[in-house]
Amino acid sequence: MRAAPALDLVDGREVRVPIGAAFDVVVVGSGPAGAAAARVIARQGLSVAVVEEGRRFVPAEFPPDGFSAMSEVYRGLGSTLCLGRAPMPYLQGCAVGGTSVVNGAISWRLPRDVYDEWVAADPEIGAAIPWSEIEAELDVVERDLGIHPTPEAISGANNLLLARGAEALGIAHRPIHRNVKGCRGLGRCLQGCPEGNKQSMDFSYLPEACAAGARIFASAEARAVTVERGRAVSVEGRSAAGARVRLRARHAVVLAASAVQTPILLARSGLGGAATGLGFQCHPGVSMAGRFREEVRLWTGATQGHEVTGLRREGIKIEALGYDATIVATRHKETGAALGSALADLAHWANWGAAIRARARGRVRRGIGGPWISYGLGPADMKIVRRSVRILGELMLAAGAEYVTPGVYGWHEKVTDPSMMGRFEEQGPLDPRAYSLVATHLFGSCRMGSDPRTSVVRPDFRHHRVEGLYVADSSVFPSNTGVNPQTTILALAAICGRRVTKR
């Protein structure tokens, strides 16, 4: 087990009296965006405070089962929802290091065609952030986090079976590139690596930011950004122990709290303009399980170690999904002795999922008890969802599954014939309520753009109306990307950090 790196950290669980301090820059959020911005800014010699609502976890503290992890390391007990015709849960980490602590470590470069879409819609984005600068920063991220393909030796059967199915169908596929170091394929990424082998922000960028002089205020919720004479001057918050926290920003405030929390913080600060919270996008996901004769034990091996890449331009990205056994068990609806038999058979099941590059847009706004996200998929998006289910089933059967369980209301519970999955694309339901959808990778609720009527920040990450206020997270993305965004978030947030230090 790797020892947890040293961090200059104030633990808000122990802060019971008001505290105040002044820094050049205050960063809200310690996930990939906040950590990348803080690292760049601190290395330029500015003093930096990072405010994080969650607490710090060391590897020995990560729970072994999925449900305990959701209650301890995830926001809202893992039960946060996008509301619409078919409510979709979304998951966010709440810890020092943000969601990077509990994600699958999947690392994708921003596709050039996605960037070209952004620039075609708003050429000023291309002028402010040239592709060459993004490419150079992506190279830095890959080098610094040791991103590399998942070795076959630690892949596990769940990943290797996906490779077998894709090869049989002639669809392009590859081992997933991940930000890990010394991974042994323990299958614990989504609970937090118990050995510290994932290059999450608490093991990589945040220690480097602290080494350059940054200080982290953990277990401290940012409640508002204070503006004086048109300029952001401080962040007001409260420690987990109930004390007021006030951090003055001599130079700038950088919001990196996520595509959900950043627009909420702006609205709570009285900075919620007409575009704030609008344009929310995500990657809706659908999954499928298949029963194999051989043991799969999908809770072992790399949590997510193989992917299908050949359908990306169709808006479909398929990945192997590894889960803790307690999560896998919830897919079974039997009771009594039948449930006991199903649980005894868990080791023979594989689970794969498809992330959809949906075109639908929603809205994030303040609601009773927390954020409200309204989001619904239209017919065109649902056709892609339906096609994804077909392909998932065909892949599993091609890989040797005895049968698959599509999990679609009104469709066959067990399918053994690939031709039946082929018919699903035409005959399957288009009502989103028939599917068990999950929202992953959140974007676009504080979009960048040249028009303040339709965007929240300028193409250089500066807020349109407030000086000294920047947004660095995926809420500024003009659209979803169709691929896992962590690497792109890191690169763009680092570029944001450089824009902060130039002013």
Are the C-beta atoms of 32 and 101 separated by less than 8 Å?
Answer: no
Q: Which domain holds residue 136?
A: 9-60+103-147+185-269+448-501
- d(C-alpha 443, C-alpha 480), whole Å: 6
* End-of-domain residue from the set 439, 466, 482: 439
The pLDDT score that the predictor gives to residue 256 is: 98
The residues near 228 (Cβ < 8 Å, ≥ 6 apart) are: none
Does 177 participate in catalysis according to the annotation?
no
Active-site position among 177, 306, 348, 441? 441
The pLDDT score that the predictor gives to residue 503 is: 66
Q: Are both 402 and 475 inside the same structural domain? A: no
Q: Are both 227 and 362 inside the same structural domain? A: no
- d(C-alpha 137, C-alpha 129), whole Å: 11
Chain centroid, CA 450 distance in Å: 26
The residues near 490 (Cβ < 8 Å, ≥ 6 apart) are: 32, 33, 35, 36, 137, 141, 145, 205
The pLDDT score that the predictor gives to residue 1 is: 78
- d(C-alpha 382, C-alpha 393), whole Å: 17
Are the C-beta atoms of 306 and 106 separated by less than 8 Å?
Answer: no
- Listed in sequence order, the DSSP H helices in 289-331 are 325-329
Q: Are both 394 and 296 inside the same structural domain? A: yes
Q: Are both 210 and 335 inside the same structural domain? A: no
Side-chain-side CA neighbours of 96 within 13 Å: the count stands at: 30
- d(C-alpha 422, C-alpha 64), whole Å: 39
Dihedrals phi, psi of 501, to nearest 5 degrees: -75, -15
Residues of the chain short of pLDDT 70, as ranges, are 331-333, 503
- d(C-alpha 457, C-alpha 467), whole Å: 11
CATH of the domain at 15: 3.50.50.60
Query: Is 386 within the bounds of a domain?
Result: yes
The pLDDT score that the predictor gives to residue 370 is: 84
Q: Are both 334 and 378 inside the same structural domain? A: yes
- Residue range 38-57, pLDDT digits in tens: 999 999 999 999 999 999 99
- Residue range 426-437, pLDDT digits in tens: 999 999 999 999
The pLDDT score that the predictor gives to residue 472 is: 98
Query: Is 429 within the bounds of a domain?
Result: yes
Chain centroid, CA 10 distance in Å: 26
CATH of the domain at 290: 3.30.410
Place of tokens 């369980």: 405
How many structural domains is the chain composed of? 2
Q: Give the pTM.
A: 0.97
The pLDDT score that the predictor gives to residue 6 is: 94
Query: Is 70 within the bounds of a domain?
Result: no
CA distances from 457 to 37, 253, 465, 466 (A): 16, 13, 8, 10
Query: Is 416 within the bounds of a domain?
Result: yes
- d(C-alpha 397, C-alpha 469), whole Å: 52
Q: Are both 287 and 330 inside the same structural domain? A: yes
The pLDDT score that the predictor gives to residue 368 is: 83
Q: Are both 257 and 297 inside the same structural domain? A: no
- d(C-alpha 394, C-alpha 404), whole Å: 9
The pLDDT score that the predictor gives to residue 331 is: 66
- Residue range 345-400, pLDDT digits in tens: 899 999 999 999 999 999 999 988 789 999 999 999 999 999 999 999 999 999 99
The pLDDT score that the predictor gives to residue 318 is: 98
Query: Is 3 within the bounds of a domain?
Result: no
